[in-house]
Amino acid sequence: MLRLGTREFGPDEPVIMAIVNRTPDSFYDRGATFADEPALKRVAEAIDQGAAIVDIGGVKAGPGEEVDAAEEIRRTAGFVAEVRDRHPDVVISVDTWRHEVGEAACEAGADLLNDAWGGTDPRLAEVAARHGVGLVCTHTGGAAPRTRPHRVSHPDVMADIIARTTALAERAVALGVRRDAVLIDPGHDFGKNTRHSLEATRRLDEMTGTGFPVLVSLSNKDFVGETLDLPVRERLIGTLAATAISAWLGARVYRVHEVAETRQVVEMVAAIAGRREPRVARRGLA
Query: Any idea where the domains of the chain sit in the sequence?
Result: 2-272
User: What's residue 29's pLDDT?
Assistant: 81
pTM: 0.96
The pairing of strands 15-21 and 7-9 is: unpaired
Length of the chain: 286
**Burial call 214-249: b when 16+ CB within 10 Å, e when fewer:** bbbbbbbbbbbbbbeeeebeebbebbbbbbbbbbeb
pLDDT in tens, 2-21: 999 999 999 989 999 999 99
pLDDT in tens, 152-182: 999 999 999 999 999 999 999 999 999 999 9
DSSP letter string, 207-245: HHTTSS-BEE--TT-HHHHHHHT--GGG-HHHHHHHHHH
Q: Is 25 exposed, middle or buried (0-12, 13-18, 19+ CB in 10 A)?
A: middle
pLDDT in tens, 37-77: 999 999 999 999 999 999 999 999 999 889 999 999 999 99
User: What's residue 107's pLDDT?
Assistant: 98
pLDDT band, residue 85 (cuts 50/70/90): very high
Q: Which helix (H) or strand (E) holds 47?
A: helix 36-48
User: What's residue 26's pLDDT?
Assistant: 85
Four-residue CA torsion sign, 33, 38, 43, 47: negative
Give SS3 for 119: coil
- Catalytic annotation, pick one of 255, 276, 282, 283: 255
pLDDT in tens, 254-281: 999 999 999 999 999 999 999 999 999 9
CATH T-level assignment (fold) for domain 2-272: TIM Barrel (3.20.20)
Q: Is 255 a catalytic residue?
A: yes
The pairing of strands 7-9 and 2-4 is: antiparallel
DSSP letter string, 238-272: HHHHHHHHHHHTT--EEEES-HHHHHHHHHHHHHH
Query: 31-36: which pairs have CB atoms within 8 A and are 24 or more residues apart?
Result: 36/79, 36/82
CB 34 within 8 A of CB 44: no
What CA–CA distance (Å, rounded) separates 49 from 16?
10
- What amino acid is encoded at 71 in this protein? E
- Catalytic annotation, pick one of 42, 221, 235, 252: 221
Q: Is 74 a catalytic residue?
A: no
CB 279 within 8 A of CB 43: no
Q: How far is CA 277 from CA 243, 263, 268, 271, 280, in A?
A: 20, 15, 10, 6, 8
